Copies of this chain bind each other. A is one copy, B any other.
């Protein structure tokens, strides 16, 4: 089943907003066993919308459209769709009740222009958008016998409104309409081994996978995600297959597996720390709070994260982390000695099982011959002592911060596993 995505909005075309909707829609559609053939971004212009819809409908079973549904004069999607399907706009009771509810909750008065949000083409199925005022619209297009009708869905462009509609309404309805069968996805996060080495290591297992299971390598920040996708008519059989194959995978590559059904390294850190009831504190210089920010972006962070210090100046390193003045004088802020004292300091002061510290030269200035821009020291202090690591990440500030964070998360998982291994014996 092929799907085309059309994202409408001048703000996307001028680069004011990055098109994250396409990525999150794709992920949901693919998890449901559908294929995304292309993504088209067009302006809020009737001609452009009509033309891209025409073309997308030719080659695909479904077209999902976002954006252009606001009440302002710039938003033309609804009118275009109404004309395209030779229909007329009528007020929808349920949609109107929803708009009224939202305006009441916000304490605003319902203006005539906002009441227009409740108008939808007569020929469509209105799907209520409980998170916002623009209704979702589902259109069907006849085609040859025995094939399900093609589907066009129009959703608002606000990410959390679109996501809620996709999860609760659109994806389930598409699965039902196109009778896509059962699909089970299993993600295994692998870290500490390059993609090609991993591929060699698990080659035989991959070749022996049952026909109903497909494997995808998804290399991403600092790790590889292996995605097993099982398709078939019997859910239980698929689940059995998946369980069996994942077991075999653990026997081959268990030492590199850091988590299941996770998307990112911080999620893996969260899982392993919480499962083992260990706590963490951070002392950041060059990463400037980004490690803390990634950790606390996930719900439940307070279960294992005690807190951190962003020690941007040397005085803060001394005062808030207890780094020795002499250490800073002798070795400088970007040194193994300093980062070691930072990690030990934050671990002790915040009463955590593990303390992690970063100090480096993110750039663009501040580099020297001895310590060029991109030089980063990392330390992890844990119950068994301190581990340090020196990295050189090049001259791009944001990439250096990003790569330092990934290195830290990978090291944390490794250190905690080492510690657990030692104390199991």
Contact = CB atoms under 8 A, between A and B. Distances in A.
A310 B292 contact: yes
A160 B396 contact: yes
A46 to B, nearest CB: 14
Contact of A297 (B22, B288, B316): B288
A124 B120 CA distance: 50
- How many copies of the shown chain assemble into the complex? 2
- Identify the interface centre among A160, A288, A301: most chain B CB within 10 Å of its CB: A288
A307 B307 contact: no
Interface stretch (A9-17, A85-93, A147-155): A9-17
A322 to B, nearest CB: 12
Interface in A1-56: 11-20, 22-28, 30, 36-43, 48, 52, 55
A336 to B, nearest CB: 21
A309 interface: yes
Given A41-B22, A306-B316, A291 B288 contact: no
A401 B13 contact: no
Contacts of A309: 307-310, 320
Interface string A37-81: 111111100001000100100000000000000000000000000
Interface in A319-363: 319-320, 349-351, 362-363
Contact of A293 (B18, B23, B289): B289
Nearest to A351: B315
Contact of A288 (B284, B287, B293): B293
B23 A15 contact: yes
Q: Which DSSP category, helix, strand, loop or mixed, fits chain A's interface? A: mixed
A305 to B, nearest CB: 5
A290 interface: yes
B30 A316 contact: no
A258 B397 CA distance: 25
Contacts of A19: 18-19, 22-23, 39
A18 B15 contact: no
Contacts of A43: 37-38
Given A14-B30, A18-B19, 17 more contacts: A14-B27, A15-B23, A15-B26, A15-B27, A17-B220, A19-B23, A22-B41, A38-B43, A38-B52, A39-B41, A40-B41, A55-B55, A289-B310, A292-B293, A302-B313, A302-B366, A307-B320
Interface of A: 11-20, 22-28, 30, 36-43, 48, 52, 55, 160, 218, 220, 282, 284, 287-293, 295-297, 299-302, 305-313, 315-316, 319-320, 349-351, 362-366, 396-399, 401
19 contacts: A12-B22, A14-B30, A15-B25, A17-B23, A18-B19, A38-B43, A38-B48, A40-B40, A287-B293, A288-B292, A289-B292, A289-B296, A292-B292, A297-B401, A307-B309, A307-B312, A307-B313, A309-B309, A315-B350
